[in-house]
Amino acid sequence: MHPLPEPRPAIRPLRGQLAAARVAIALLVVAGAMVIWQLALSDVDVLQVTDLGLASVLPASWYVAVGLLAAVFFNALFASRPNPLVMSVSLAAVILVLYGSTHFVEQEPHFLVTYRHAGIADFILHTGTVDPTLDAYFSWPGFFILSAFILRITGEASLLNFSDWAPVVLNALYVLCVLSIAKSLTGNTRVAWLAAWLFVVADWIGQDYYSPQGFNLFLYLAAVAIVLRAFHVASSASSGRPNLRWLPVGAIRRRAVALLETDAGDAQLAALSRNVRVALLAALVVLLAVSNASHQLTPFAFVAAFFALVLFERISLRGLPLIAVAVSAAWISFFAVGYWSGHLSDIVGGLGSLGSNVGQNVSGRIAGSPEHLLVLRMRILMTVAIWLLAGLGVIRRLRRGRADATLTLLAVAPFPLVAAQPYGGEMMLRVYLFALAPMAVLAALLYFPDVTQPVKVWNAGAAIISSLLLFAGFLFARYGNERVDYYTPDETAGIAAMYNLAPDGSLLYQVSAAPAQYKDYTKFQFMDIPNVVQDLQNDDAAAVVASMQQLAPASGAPSYLLVTRSQKAQVDMFSGLSAGSLDRLQIALERAPGLETVFKNGDTELFELAPTSGGSA
Amino acid sequence: MSSRMSSLVPAALAALSLVAAVSAFSDMQSPARVGVAMLFLFLAPGVVLMQYFELDDLALSAGLAVAVSLSADMVIGGVMVYTHLWAPQYGAAVLAGLTAVLAAGRYLPEMRPREHAFAVMGLLQRREARFGRGRPTAHGLSGAAEAPRRTPSPEGPEPVGRPVSAAAAWQQAVAAQVFIDAEMTGEVRTTSDVVIGPNGVVNARVEGARVSVRGRLNGNVRCEALHVHEHGIVTGDIDTDRLIVEDGGQIDGSCTMPRQMADSPSPNARREDVAAPTAQEV
């Protein structure tokens, strides 16, 4: 029998103590940064936010806090032995700082649509039903059922009580998936953690608020992580050589096969046992079903990603796209009939209209005040930058003999969705979101093209510089709409007063949406004022009153007009009209015959259409 | 987390789930209730389930635990909504019950399925596990053991040397893998996978398909793939097609690696057959 080696050589204790001291110092710096961050936020006056967004009011100490966290993270990342504890703590702190700051400087829940989503959850909580005739949300109600379930078990009255934490929680969950995806395909600590960092500073889209799409991105990334860990060819000992028989030209096929054979070449995945793979497949099907029940778009992203992976023989589970299609078809056929039977032209109308769809997604969104235009350009720059870094990563790895085919396929798979649907002008944003995780890993590989080699100084420097540049862009891109997205106590008090004053069935006119509908979802009918831009240009209160009289409910229910601070900010930022347009119209409305102010505070005014001049037209 | 601590996790989560379910029937409002309920709804079912999977990827395990938990919440809520039986507190009770049963499965002694059914019905006294506590012997493995079917997979191991769960017993039948988490001397020769757990000290020659070492192996090893985990130690000559030595793992002996595995034509196998021992970093 051989003698057993000592597991801990004598030199280890000293090294261990030094390493522990370094970890302790790093964690102390993180704690210090968090203190500085909180002190910085106490100086922020969100009422002073300009059209440049939150960056316009953040003090220098806020940037100092972020700088310290970045220093700790990158110091750990580029150490001879990266420390996962330090990296995870510092990255968690960065997520909290980047995605949680608004919670500490704003007194009311953030972002308009959150209120509406809370209202849908409230409806389900109190009725225990879904009504697809009310809203498209009720044809994919899974997320709201989940929300109502959580509300009842926690005993909370409204999800607005914790909706502001959604971006922090969701981004932390996204990061777990990014780490797993990067690990499965590269097997390298630094690539995985740098990809996670890049994901965090590039997720400017803002779809991670309390929403079905934010939750579904997590499901999507979790499903992709399962597929790559359990069914990728790199983890399957039984996988054969790819043949790509569907490629018509032999030379192209041979070249493609050669490239695919270097895919995930650095990963060292231990094959999972059959029973674990079966269990993970079951979990995957559950995630697919849950996604189909809770969001209309994400299932198509699933199908696109799985189809691309199967087409290029990157996963052993060849029936996966069919499973995804079958689950989607089942949901649409049995639970979403109420929506698609009435909106078929909306759904398929954009199919193949690539130019029109792209136009709606890009040029159709470029409008507003000069400062807001700067923010919009920053967003385009951020998008191009992360795609460019990913592209350069692909090229640099190819030069090293590694084709990251799986990552590339996952990065490009969502793009055909743009040709299928404009999605209200938001499809490009969603495509960016679905592609962001693989793009971030590819971008990280740009700085570590040979994962088996030590880190080179210029690679590390380039990674830090580009990360900091992305961070600078993130602040403007992410929080550029902050002047519209925050709400004051006066605004929410005004909405609450409206709920008390207006009877059920009232018609509520608005220049743009207000943070209403967070409770009693069916209490009001909401309607935008027709020709509002023209009325704003001319300060034409009479035209507004005439429209209200013309559209007054036949039932005789009263009509109201709501004007809020955030609506004024929205007009200033997005409409292209001169600043203060809605202020001037508000003054004209106060003088207009036929309208009566029934509630007013600093940030809200509620007008009621006088009964004598209203009634059924 | 130490194995003693991690063994308490299922019980703690089961208790937390039951507290959350009971509090769901009350009208009490408190931060404590919110905290307990959130942990239950976001984590408990998924974490307990992930303990059965025992993936080697912490990030994936954590993410899946949350995804599975929330999916379970949504499925139960959805069934209640679409069947017009909306009563979330009862749904929470069902979910807590399922979580508790899954957690209990981690502690059940090894039994045949029929015995398990009796035990669940409360008709059978819990009996001494076949491989009783405090008897750290690799029963059935000493001397040319051939593919014993009562040991679980590397990913879902229940060690020889202490009671094995019913779920693990199911895994054994599927996976047919050898798991040793005790001291043993002799020889292990099998066509199945062999896993030496963190408490395993194997003074034996080992032959198997894939051999995974988290404890100590003193003896020559011949296999298709050898994975030496962090803190794993192999002292002996190695004859394998694929070799992974994690950071913190140790090998002491000569290593022979044939050019190519005869029965594994995958690109990955071709790629790794020339790989020197490297550290898997994540």
pLDDT for the residue A600: 92
Cβ–Cβ below 8 Å for A280 and B53:
yes
In this complex, which of B52, B60, B203 lies closest to A180 when CB atoms are compared?
A: B60
Q: What is the C-alpha separation between A219 and A433, in angstroms, rounded?
A: 13
For the stretch B112-124, pLDDT in tens is 444 444 443 343 3
For the stretch B219-228, pLDDT in tens is 889 888 898 9
Cβ–Cβ below 8 Å for B33 and A154:
yes
Nearest-CA distance A264 → chain B (Å)? 8
Q: Which chain B residues are closer than 8 Å to A234 by Cβ? A: 268
Cβ–Cβ below 8 Å for B231 and A141:
no
Q: In a mutagenesis test of the A interface, which of B268, B271, B278 is the best target, namely the one with the most A β-carbons within 10 Å?
A: B268
First to last CA, chain A: 100
Q: Which of residues 100-159 of B touch A (CB under 8 A)?
A: 153-156
Q: What is the C-alpha separation between A448 and A462, in angstroms, rounded?
A: 11
Nearest-CA distance B142 → chain A (Å)? 16
For the stretch A134-168, pLDDT in tens is 888 899 999 999 999 999 999 998 989 889 999 99
The structure's pTM equals: 0.79
Identify which has the larger pLDDT, A338 or A70.
A70
- State the average pLDDT for chain B: 71
Residue B135 scores a pLDDT above 70:
no
The pLDDT-based confidence of B179 (bands split at 50, 70, 90) is confident
pLDDT for the residue A235: 61
Q: What is the C-alpha separation between B108 and B111, in angstroms, rounded?
A: 8
The answer to which of A220-224, A257-261, B212-216 has the lowest mean pLDDT is A257-261
In this complex, which of A128, A154, A270 lies closest to B34 when CB atoms are compared?
A: A154
Residue A104 scores a pLDDT above 90:
yes
The pLDDT-based confidence of B1 (bands split at 50, 70, 90) is low
pLDDT for the residue A76: 94
CB-count burial class (<10 Å; 0-12, 13-18, 19+) for B97: middle
pLDDT for the residue B164: 36
For residue A593, what are the contacts with CB-CB under 8 A and spacing of at least 6?
A: A545, A610, A613
The answer to which of A8-22, A244-258, A309-323, A456-470 has the lowest mean pLDDT is A8-22
Q: Which of residues 488-527 of A touch B (CB under 8 A)?
A: none
Q: Which chain A residues are closer than 8 Å to B64 by Cβ? A: 222, 225-226, 283
Q: A518-556: buried (b, 16+ CB within 10 Å) or exposed (e) per residue?
A: bbebebbeeeebeebeebbeebbbebbbbbbbebbbeee
pLDDT for the residue A365: 58
Residue B130 scores a pLDDT above 50:
no
Nearest CA in chain B to A220: B67
Check if the interface score ipTM surpasses 0.85. yes
Q: Which of residues 7-36 of B touch A (CB under 8 A)?
A: 20, 23-24, 26-30, 33-34
Nearest CA in chain B to A80: B281
pLDDT for the residue B168: 36
For the stretch A572-584, pLDDT in tens is 888 888 888 899 9
Given the structure tokens 């029937």, which residue do they identify? B25
Instruction: List, in sequence order, the alpha helices (H) in A242-273.
Output: 250-260
Q: Which of residues 195-224 of B touch A (CB under 8 A)?
A: 201, 203, 210, 212, 216, 218-219
Q: Any CB–CB contact under 8 A between A143 and chain B? A: yes
Cβ–Cβ below 8 Å for A5 and B235:
yes
For residue B1, what are the contacts with CB-CB under 8 A and spacing of at least 6?
A: B9
In this complex, which of A143, A219, A335 lies closest to B67 when CB atoms are compared?
A: A219
Nearest-CA distance A73 → chain B (Å)? 16
Measuring CA to CA, which residue among A159, A133, A211, A120 is closest to residue A520? Answer: A120
Q: What is the C-alpha separation between A533 and A571, in angstroms, rounded?
A: 9
Cβ–Cβ below 8 Å for B37 and A154:
yes
Q: Any CB–CB contact under 8 A between A226 and chain B? A: yes
Q: What is the C-alpha separation between A355 and A109, in angstroms, rounded?
A: 37
Dump the DSSP string for A334-384.
HTSHHHHTT-HHHHHTTTT-HHHHHHHHTGGG--S-HHHHHHHHHHHHHHH
For residue A183, what are the contacts with CB-CB under 8 A and spacing of at least 6?
A: A192, A267, B57, B59, B282
The DSSP call for residue A264 is T
Q: Which chain A residues are closer than 8 Å to B92 by Cβ? A: 149, 152-153
Cβ–Cβ below 8 Å for A145 and B74:
yes
pLDDT for the residue B113: 44
For residue A518, what are the contacts with CB-CB under 8 A and spacing of at least 6?
A: A115, A116, A118, A119, A122, A158, A160, A495
Given the structure tokens 């009842």, which residue do they identify? A152
Average pLDDT score over residue span B101-128? 54
Residue A41 scores a pLDDT above 60:
yes
Cβ–Cβ below 8 Å for A176 and B59:
yes
Cβ–Cβ below 8 Å for A240 and B60:
no
For the stretch A283-308, pLDDT in tens is 999 999 999 999 989 999 999 999 99
Residue A324 scores a pLDDT above 80:
yes
Cβ–Cβ below 8 Å for A275 and B153:
yes
In this complex, which of B75, B80, B155 lies closest to A276 when CB atoms are compared?
A: B155
Residue B157 scores a pLDDT above 80:
no
Q: Which of residues 262-321 of A touch B (CB under 8 A)?
A: 262-265, 267-268, 270-276, 279-280, 283, 286-287, 289-290, 293-294
Q: Which chain A residues are closer than 8 Å to B23 by Cβ? A: 155
Q: Which chain B residues are closer than 8 Å to A145 by Cβ? A: 74, 77-78, 81
Identify which has the larger pLDDT, B149 or A608.
A608
pLDDT for the residue B53: 85
For the stretch A511-568, pLDDT in tens is 888 888 898 898 888 888 888 888 888 888 888 888 888 888 877 889 999 999 999 9
Cβ–Cβ below 8 Å for B40 and A239:
no
Q: Which chain A residues are closer than 8 Å to B252 by Cβ? A: 2, 5
In this complex, which of B156, B170, B210 lies closest to A276 when CB atoms are compared?
A: B156
Q: Which of residues 69-88 of A touch B (CB under 8 A)?
A: 81-82
Q: What is the C-alpha separation between B139 and B136, in angstroms, rounded?
A: 9
Cβ–Cβ below 8 Å for B235 and A3:
yes
Count of pairs with CB atoms under 8 A, one residue in A, one in B: 231
pLDDT for the residue A236: 58
In this complex, which of B20, B38, B63 lies closest to A173 when CB atoms are compared?
A: B63
Residue B146 scores a pLDDT above 50:
no
**Please, are residues A407 and A185 in contact by the beta-carbon 8 Å criterion?**
yes
Nearest-CA distance B129 → chain A (Å)? 24
The pLDDT-based confidence of A263 (bands split at 50, 70, 90) is confident
The pLDDT-based confidence of B173 (bands split at 50, 70, 90) is very low
For the stretch A105-127, pLDDT in tens is 999 998 999 999 999 999 999 99
For the stretch A375-429, pLDDT in tens is 999 999 999 999 999 999 999 999 988 889 999 999 999 998 887 776 766 788 8
Nearest-CA distance B122 → chain A (Å)? 28
Given the structure tokens 């029963």, which residue do they identify? B139
The pLDDT-based confidence of B47 (bands split at 50, 70, 90) is very high
With vertex at residue A172, the alpha carbon angle to CA A115 and CA A235, rounded to the nearest 5 degrees, is: 130
Average pLDDT score over residue span B157-167? 36
Nearest-CA distance A1 → chain B (Å)? 7
The number of CA neighbours under 13 Å toward the Cβ of A605 is: 16
For the stretch B55-69, pLDDT in tens is 888 999 999 999 999
pLDDT for the residue B77: 96
Q: Which chain A residues are closer than 8 Å to B170 by Cβ? A: 275
pLDDT for the residue B27: 82
Q: Which chain B residues are closer than 8 Å to A225 by Cβ? A: 59-60, 63-64
Q: Any CB–CB contact under 8 A between A617 and chain B? A: no
- State the average pLDDT for chain A: 87
